[in-house]
Amino acid sequence: MKIILQKYLNLLLLFISIFSVQKTFANAAQPGIWNAGGTVFTMLYPEDSLSFKKVQMQQERIYIQLYKGFAVVKGSYVFKNTSNENLQFKMGYPVNGIYSGGETDLNQITLDSLSQFKIKAKERWLDLIKENHPELNHNDRNVNPFSDNWMVWQMAFAPNETQTVEVYFIVNTNDAQVRKGYNLENRNAFIYLLESGSVWKQPIEKGNFYVQLKDGLTPENLQGLSGGFNFKFNEKYQLFAGTKSHFSPTPADNLVASYYEKIENFDFAKHTAQSDKLFDTIDEFSRISFNELTYTEAELGNPYEVKSTIGGALPGLLTIFMIVAPVLIVVLLVGVLIWGFVKWRKIKKQKGQ
């Protein structure tokens, strides 16, 4: 009986050690897109939140040109001050940092100082001022700055005023990774964060989104483009056109595109040095009469999809094994105890005869 109990104790210790290993292997990387190109701007001061809720984004038109390794973006927004007050508030974005958004799948964006970001309101370029905001490094928001440096600008609205605001920027899309379980692929990826538009008075009345393939890219190079926009394809301009109307943006509304493949030794600065030319090109693109074009249905794919590999499957299989193993061990222990008890009863009965 003593030997049986010793075996039981040894098996119990084995069970505990395997269960501990199982917990270690259960922490797979969050599925989604990491280190994509994109940008986000936000209000800087909590006291400005009341002003934001008095300004409605009535319409947004987003123009995106995807190149190999980077993307150029122009956003045109129609804002209306819905109050009878003069409104002033500051907005900004971190010079360098990470934004983690998305819903079930991660939408992580690398914020890059080379973005060449610029903004225009009332046909006038707004001054961007570099300010230090160390207090924003520890406020548990989605934005995680890498330093205290933020680029800031001032917005002003007269009572009931409607004005058009335009932004331009260039982002590096070459460093993205798409993860699903333990499988990952290095791709180009771009994310436009509609979720950040939730700070304004809701709803957004209408949004138009145009994604053009440049640099010799074709639909075959597009691994996936977000659904929910009713995208259609125009072959002449190699563009996808989509819309949203009367919506209050959530993380599920983010526009995500994954495409092409990682370019080794990519020189992003070489392209941002030509920002004037790139911005002229996207201005020309934005002047197309999109409503007069002919569109066809498009197969968009899934921007979060990755191919399963043996290397990616092994950790998952090991995790499953670690989950099942404790159950098998418990069954084995019960079996051993029952067998030992029956054997002991037999021996005791034989000795009593």
Find which of 6-20, 164-178, 183-197, 339-353 is predicted with most confidence, using mean pLDDT: 164-178
Contact 306, 32 (CB under 8 A): no
Query: What is d(CA 179, CA 182) in angstroms, rounded to the nearest whole number?
Result: 7
Quick one: tokens of 68?
Answer: 């190999």
- The pLDDT of 209-218, averaged and rounded, is 97
Note the Cα 86 to chain centre separation in Å: 35
Collapse the DSSP code of 175 into the 3-class scheme (helix H, G, I; strand E, B; otherwise coil) and give the result.
coil
What crossing angle do the helices spanning 310-352 and 2-25 adopt, rounded to 10°? 170
Quick one: tokens of 105?
Answer: 């799948």
Comparing 311 with 44, which gets the higher pLDDT?
44
- Residue 294, pLDDT > 70, answer yes
Residue corresponding to tokens 């007069």: 292
Please, where are the H alpha helices in the chain? Answer: 2-25, 49-52, 268-272, 275-286, 310-352
Q: pLDDT tens, 63-85? A: 999 999 999 999 999 999 999 99
Comparing 59 with 341, which gets the higher pLDDT?
59
